[in-house]
């Protein structure tokens, strides 16, 4: 069953989401922002301003998930203007960012991340894997710009929504099996095997 705002707030108070915003925030210091915080049946996390990386073409190379070359990712600049701080995701490109909030998922919960409609309507597709039972850290976030125009990706504002599914505790959690992405830091984490 998908969990509601009361349940999410209760577990956030125990450290599941940090920092935690107990309501939807749509303005910060009188500037409109892409909403973040607690919603009826989810939580909208923010994109960290720490880093955003874009795949770049290196002639003669192939991206290999078993032997990932970090040179395939190029750090992008964080811009700031009256609308806020943002990264530019070029047309028809793919980028990696990191969540501002740290998660510590209980062993009887799995989290599914879905894209926000504001970005979807601009051609941005969020492709994010689940945060499994007992996973903890900062999510690495993946975005594809399917449009033919460059797009701003705002830091410190809502980027994806988390949906929480609770069940019986699993016999082997992400932590128990020593998952390779456990305890991700507040930085982009590249593909590992």
Residues forming the active site: 142
Backbone torsions φ then ψ of 98, nearest 5 degrees? -140, 145
Q: Which residues contact 153 (CB under 8 A, 6 or more apart)?
A: 47, 52, 86, 87, 88, 89, 95, 97, 119, 124, 143, 159
Alpha-helix residue ranges (DSSP H) falling in 49-179: 117-120
Q: How far is CA 122 from CA 59, 89, 91, 117, 152, in A?
A: 30, 11, 11, 9, 9
- Cα–Cα distance for residue pair 27/190, rounded to 1 Å: 33
């Amino acid at each position: 069953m998908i969990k509601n705002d009361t349940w999410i707030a209760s577990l956030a108070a125990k450290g599941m989401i940090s920092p935690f915003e107990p309501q939807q925030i749509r303005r910060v210091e009188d500037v409109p922002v892409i909403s973040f915080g607690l919603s009826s049946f989810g939580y909208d996390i923010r994109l960290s301003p720490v880093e955003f990386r874009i795949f770049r073409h290196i002639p003669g190379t192939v991206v290999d998930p078993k032997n990932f070359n970090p040179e395939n990712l190029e750090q992008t600049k964080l811009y700031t203007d009256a609308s806020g701080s943002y990264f530019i995701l070029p047309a028809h490109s793919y980028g990696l960012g990191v969540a501002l909030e740290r998660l510590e998922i209980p062993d009887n919960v799995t989290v599914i991340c879905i894209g926000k409609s504001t970005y979807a309507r601009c051609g941005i597709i969020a492709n994010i894997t689940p945060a499994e039972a007992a996973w903890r850290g900062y999510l690495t976030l993946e975005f594809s710009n399917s449009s033919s125009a460059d797009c701003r990706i705002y830091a410190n504002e809502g980027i994806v929504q988390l949906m929480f599914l609770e069940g019986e505790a699993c016999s082997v959690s992400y932590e128990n099996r020593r998952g390779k992405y456990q305890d991700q830091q507040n930085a982009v984490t590249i593909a590992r095997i």
